[in-house]
């Protein structure tokens, strides 16, 4: 269930607008005057990460990245593109489903403990600038897991409902991208307030802008823009088509659920287990991985305690621990759990795939395990290893 009614975010039937790249600052102003804190891609620690940005100068403009299994490098671009990089390691889920969150705390009073609930209301109003279509699908899938059902997470939901999303379509595919296989990109189709397509041509640097919601149209009205020319719309379409054709990876999603069910006992899982370090990098960069652990902590005097929720991973051995031992003790069973959940049982549990094709699990795997290759190997008979 989307956190926001779908109707308010349907794609605009109107002709797209065009905004000059030099007017990006005006977009910042339009967002901040409406009370949004702008979060966007910025360079830190040798990677493009998402954090608060106070203006276009803070964005990772002019940077690109080279991504391959187990490899990520920033590179300077010659064309000055502002969004010329791809999905990065930190993702957007942390702004709604934070890595660590206090659920509640309690204080010792004379007559026992008094619980002090964490306020559910009033999370920051955030404008996410530069959400890639794959990542946007990640948020939409996370919505189905934690914002819907009989126990919606109140803080996730409040933060999602208040967020303003500026998607940026991908005019270039990265080395580990496969959104075209998963039907999640390279163009955003739903779930955004504004969607930008960056057009960098000789002497003209501009954005094709589509509004996907009333809020998006209102913000756009405060930014200098004009109607797009036919050739600008066509140029964007060509770029997106080329990006779709230039995906660094491909995953044959047809029947992949049935394939993984069928291959649950394939010997190939042993081959993967020989390489997998069970480090959980893949689950921490995955836009849809949501698993958590809940722990209690007290202060030294025992007068105050709190219960916290932290991201956890199905790769940790304690993840499945019950009295008597973990259900999945071997690395093999843990990798199989992750991949099978992502591509197969997610459909049973939530009605979609758990994979959005962003390729971050491939890029950030220290040993370069590539799920698209693993699926190919399983399809080929389950006897072949990486790099098939």
Partner 1 sequence: MTGCSGWVTPNPYQPVACRVVAAVPETSDTVTLTIAPPPATAWRFQPGQFNMVSLYGVGEAPISIASDPADPEGLVQHTVRAVGRLTRPLTTLRPGDTVWLRGPYGRPWPLDAWRSRDLLLVTGGLGLAPVRPVVLAAGRARHLFGRIELLYGARTPGDLLYRDALQEWARVFDMTVRVTVDAVPPDQVWAGPVGVVTRLYEAMTSRPGAVALACGPELMMRFALQGLLDRGFPASDLYVSLERRMECGFGHCGRCALGPVKVCRDGPVFCWDELAGRVWVEDQPVLQAVGGGPRGPAAARRT
Is the four-CA dihedral 67, 126, 104, 135 of positive or negative sign?
negative
Contacts of 366 (CB under 8 A, 6+ apart): 70, 277, 279, 281
The reply to whether 345 sits near partner 1 by the rule CB under 8 A is: yes
> Looking at 233, 244, 305, 388, which residue binds partner 1 (CB under 8 A)?
305
The reply to whether 337 sits near partner 1 by the rule CB under 8 A is: yes
Query: What is the smallest separation between the CB atom of 340 and partner 1, expressed in angstroms?
Result: 8
Specify whether the CB–CB gap between 296 and 309 falls below 8 A.
no
> Looking at 325, 366, 381, 387, which residue binds partner 1 (CB under 8 A)?
325
296 φ, ψ (degrees, to nearest 5)? -105, 150
As a whole number of angstroms, the distance between CA 297 and CA 131 comes to: 35
The reply to whether 145 sits near partner 1 by the rule CB under 8 A is: yes
| Interface region with partner 1, contact rule CB under 8 A, candidates 8-16, 166-174, 204-212, 326-334 | 326-334
Nearer to partner 1, 250 or 347 (CB): 347
As a whole number of angstroms, the distance between CA 121 and CA 100 comes to: 18
> Looking at 48, 140, 146, 343, which residue binds partner 1 (CB under 8 A)?
146
The reply to whether 329 sits near partner 1 by the rule CB under 8 A is: yes
Specify whether the CB–CB gap between 63 and 85 falls below 8 A.
yes
Nearer to partner 1, 312 or 370 (CB): 312
The reply to whether 115 sits near partner 1 by the rule CB under 8 A is: yes
Nearer to partner 1, 24 or 280 (CB): 280
As a whole number of angstroms, the distance between CA 56 and CA 20 comes to: 13
| Interface region with partner 1, contact rule CB under 8 A, candidates 141-149, 187-195, 196-204, 211-219 | 141-149
> Looking at 132, 341, 342, 379, which residue binds partner 1 (CB under 8 A)?
341
As a whole number of angstroms, the distance between CA 225 and CA 219 comes to: 11
The residue to which tokens 């790769």 are assigned: 315
Looking at the DSSP assignment, which residues form a beta bridge with residue 20? 206
The reply to whether 293 sits near partner 1 by the rule CB under 8 A is: yes
The reply to whether 112 sits near partner 1 by the rule CB under 8 A is: yes
The continuous run of DSSP H or E covering 116 comes out as strand 112-117
Picking from 72, 69, 380, 64, the residue whose alpha carbon sits closest to that of residue 249 is 69
The reply to whether 381 sits near partner 1 by the rule CB under 8 A is: no
| Interface region with partner 1, contact rule CB under 8 A, candidates 59-67, 77-85, 115-123, 371-379 | 115-123
The residue to which tokens 């698993």 are assigned: 291
> Looking at 13, 203, 254, 302, which residue binds partner 1 (CB under 8 A)?
302
Specify whether the CB–CB gap between 9 and 211 falls below 8 A.
no
The reply to whether 264 sits near partner 1 by the rule CB under 8 A is: yes
Burial level of 279, CB count in 10 A (0-12/13-18/19+)?
A: middle
In three-state secondary structure terms, 239 is helix
The reply to whether 335 sits near partner 1 by the rule CB under 8 A is: no
Nearer to partner 1, 178 or 269 (CB): 269
Q: Is the peptide bond before 176 cis (omega within 30 degrees of 0)?
A: no
The reply to whether 307 sits near partner 1 by the rule CB under 8 A is: yes
Nearer to partner 1, 252 or 296 (CB): 296
The reply to whether 333 sits near partner 1 by the rule CB under 8 A is: yes
**Sites of contact with partner 1 (CB under 8 A):** 103-104, 106, 112-113, 115, 117-118, 120, 145-146, 149-154, 264-265, 290-298, 302, 305, 307, 309, 312, 314, 319-330, 333, 337, 340-341, 345, 348-349
């Amino acid at each position: 269930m989307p956190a926001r009614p779908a109707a308010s975010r349907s794609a605009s039937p109107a002709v797209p607008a065009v905004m000059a790249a030099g007017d990006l600052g005006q977009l910042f102003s339009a967002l901040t005057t409406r009370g949004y804190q702008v979060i966007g891609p910025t360079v830190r620690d040798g990677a493009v990460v998402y954090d608060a940005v106070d203006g276009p100068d803070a964005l990772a403009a002019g940077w690109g990245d080279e991504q391959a299994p187990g490899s990520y490098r920033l590179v300077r671009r010659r064309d000055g593109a502002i969004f010329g990089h791809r999905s990065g390691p930190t993702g957007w889920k942390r702004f709604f489903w934070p890595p660590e969150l206090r659920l509640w705390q309690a204080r010792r009073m004379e007559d026992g403990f008094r619980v002090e609930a964490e306020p559910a209301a009033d999370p920051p109003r955030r404008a996410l600038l530069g959400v890639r279509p794959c990542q946007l699908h990640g948020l939409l899938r996370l919505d189905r897991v934690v914002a819907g059902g009989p126990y919606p997470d109140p803080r996730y939901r409040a933060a999602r409902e208040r967020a303003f999303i500026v998607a940026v379509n991908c005019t270039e595919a990265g080395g580990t991208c496969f959104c075209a296989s998963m039907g999640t990109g390279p163009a955003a189709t739903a779930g955004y307030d504004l969607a930008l397509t960056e057009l960098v041509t000789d002497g003209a640097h501009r954005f094709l802008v589509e509004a996907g919601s009333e809020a998006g149209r209102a913000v756009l009205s405060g930014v200098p823009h004009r109607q797009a020319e036919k050739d600008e719309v066509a140029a964007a379409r060509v770029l997106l088509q080329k990006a779709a054709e230039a995906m660094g990876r491909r995953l044959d999603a047809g029947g992949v659920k049935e394939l993984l069910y069928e291959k649950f006992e394939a010997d190939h899982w042993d081959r993967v287990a020989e390489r997998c370090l069970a480090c959980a990098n893949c689950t921490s960069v995955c836009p849809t991985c949501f698993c958590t652990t809940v722990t209690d902590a007290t202060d030294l005097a025992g007068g105050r305690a709190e219960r916290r929720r932290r991201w956890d991973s199905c790769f940790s051995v304690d993840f499945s621990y019950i009295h008597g031992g973990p259900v999945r003790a071997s690395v093999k069973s843990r990798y199989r759990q992750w991949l099978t959940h992502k591509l197969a049982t997610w459909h049973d549990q939530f009605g979609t795939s758990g994979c959005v094709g962003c390729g971050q699990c491939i890029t950030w795997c220290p040993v370069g395990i590539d799920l698209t290759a693993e699926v190919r190997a399983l399809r080929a008979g389950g006897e072949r290893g990486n790099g098939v």
